[in-house]
């Protein structure tokens, strides 16, 4: 049976639908964030300039500090979007008691598992394939291997070793894994090729059989994980990308660990900062996020003086300087949320149809914000996620039903939010009896 082809949808409309779908779910959209960003122009500009520097072979970092509701998650997502737009591969690490800051292997593993390009998520295989293909292309273009497949494979394997030789002797293991992956693909042994990718990504339970075939002893552990990361960045750059931008979220969970683990975790940050400053991690950019307690609390960064000294800032609440080691985010306010709502109206128009701006007027938006805020202790910084979910629902109803009048029909009740509220939202919710 012949099925009709769906009507083609423009790239802008696809992006717009994705943004609206994410807001319906209360999540940060995967792309197009500049279309709903508000009040972050200076911060975005600083991050963009840092990325330009990193693209020239430098290494840099930035700490993003803010309370819940200040927009840390959004700014991080926007920063990674900017990085991909500039030709970087990005990755995202979430620190937790199960994946703590002091377990460097776990950080490396999350980076390898979350590699993302502008075109593709989970992009490790594509990046390595592109790198290997570029080596073959270069060798054939200079005629060093002719058309003989055996000669080309031998020359490519020598190039793999040479490309990684400048990093460290430890990375002979990475070269061996990449060589095994290349040979396995050429031989059609896809199980072995997959095992090689798994070992490179520090996945657990890669068996002895693979390591025997690859001539590798041991696994990627805490002692060598950063060296392997440097090797991975070499591959990324060799594949045609500018470098690697990594976001490390929720570092405040480190404060809940015992003292020795906390200090080891904070020492990991010192190691990264110093390696970037010494030029030992070229083409790497790290973004770290945390709440004020992480920076100022007795169990936070202040407890390790050498780290605190490296990232402390000259504080000025009137004229913040995001070029300092920390970007200090202010709490979200009513004016910003109104601007976001107006931007969402424009996105919705591209995704579906032009909203009725009489039914969803600026006056209605202000009333809606006030109504929701009143149920959360007047905390405007707490409600953006909830507000945007409710707002998209209203836009949907206005499009679906001509008779729907939100100014008359809409009343905010938290009953339907039970079970989905975050702890910060629950903490300030006003309960009505």
User: Scanning the structure block, which residue is given the tokens 């990046």?
Assistant: 127
Task: State the Cα–Cα distance between residues 109 and 225, nearest whole angstrom.
Answer: 9
Distance, in Å, from the CA atom of 387 to the CA atom of 77, rounded to the nearest integer, reads: 20
Q: Which two tokens stand for residue 233?
A: 């960045």
Q: Which of 20, 26, 24, 22 is nearest to 421 (CA)?
A: 26
Homologous superfamily of 39-117+241-328 in CATH? Answer: P-loop containing nucleotide triphosphate hydrolases (3.40.50.300)
Q: pLDDT value at position 319?
A: 79
CB within 8 A of 297, min separation 6: which ones? 255
Mean pLDDT, 10 residues at a time, the chain of 433 residues: 70 94 91 90 96 97 89 91 97 92 95 95 95 86 65 84 73 88 90 94 86 87 91 94 96 93 95 95 96 91 94 78 91 90 96 94 94 87 89 95 92 74 75 54
Local structure of 131: helix, strand or coil: helix
H-helix or E-strand spanning residue 134:
helix 124-141
Token pair for 262: 């906390």
Residue in the block written with tokens 């060598």 = 224
* pLDDT for residue 316: 63
* Sheet with strand 284-290: strands edge to edge: 89-94, 244-249, 284-290, 59-65, 326-328
Could you tell me the residue ranges of all domains in the chain?
39-117+241-328, 124-226, 334-428
CA-to-CA distance for 342 and 362, rounded, in angstroms? 8
Question: Cβ of 365: how many Cβ atoms within 10 Å?
Answer: 21
| pTM for the full predicted model | 0.87
């Amino acid at each position: 049976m012949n099925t009709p082809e769906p009507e083609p949808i423009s790239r802008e409309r696809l992006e717009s639908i994705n943004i609206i779908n994410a807001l319906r779910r209360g999540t940060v959209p995967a792309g197009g964030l500049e279309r709903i960003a508000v009040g972050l122009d200076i911060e975005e500009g600083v991050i963009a300039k840092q990325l330009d520097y990193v693209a020239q072979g430098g290494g840099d970092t930035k700490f993003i500090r803010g309370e819940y509701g200040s927009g840390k998650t959004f700014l991080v997502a926007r920063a990674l979007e900017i990085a991909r737009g500039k030709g970087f591969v990005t990755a995202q690490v979430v620190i937790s008691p199960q994946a703590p800051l002091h377990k460097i292997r776990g950080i490396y593993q999350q980076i390898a598992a979350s590699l993302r390009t502008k075109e593709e998520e989970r992009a490790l295989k594509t990046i390595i394939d592109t790198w290997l293909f570029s080596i073959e292309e270069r060798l054939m273009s200079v005629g060093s291997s002719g058309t003989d497949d055996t000669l080309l494979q031998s020359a490519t394997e020598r190039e793999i070793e040479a490309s990684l030789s400048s990093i460290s002797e430890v990375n002979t293991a990475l070269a061996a894994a990449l060589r095994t992956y290349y040979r396995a693909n050429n031989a059609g042994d896809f199980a072995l090729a997959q095992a090689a990718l798994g070992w490179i990504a520090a996945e657990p339970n890669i068996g002895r059989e693979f390591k025997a075939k690859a001539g590798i002893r041991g696994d990627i552990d805490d002692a060598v994980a950063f060296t392997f990361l440097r090797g991975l960045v070499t591959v990324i750059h060799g594949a045609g990308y500018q470098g690697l931008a990594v976001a490390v979220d929720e570092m405040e969970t480190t404060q809940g660990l015992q003292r020795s683990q906390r200090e080891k975790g904070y020492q990991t940050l010192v190691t990264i900062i110093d390696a970037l400053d010494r030029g030992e991690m070229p083409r790497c950019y790290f973004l770290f996020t945390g709440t004020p307690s992480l920076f100022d609390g007795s169990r936070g960064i202040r407890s390790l003086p050498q780290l605190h000294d490296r990232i402390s800032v000259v504080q000025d609440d009137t004229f913040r300087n995001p070029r300092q080691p920390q970007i200090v985010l202010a709490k979200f306010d009513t004016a910003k949320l109104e601007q976001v709502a107006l931007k969402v109206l424009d996105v919705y128009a591209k995704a579906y149809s032009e909203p009725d701006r009489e039914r969803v007027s600026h006056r209605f938006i202000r009333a809606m914000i006030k109504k929701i805020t009143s149920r959360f202790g007047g905390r405007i910084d707490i409600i953006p996620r909830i507000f945007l979910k409710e707002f998209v629902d209203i836009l949907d109803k206005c499009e679906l039903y001509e008779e729907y009048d939100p100014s008359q029909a809409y009343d905010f009740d938290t009953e339907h939010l039970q079970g989905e509220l975050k702890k910060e939202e629950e903490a300030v919710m006003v309960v009505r009896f």
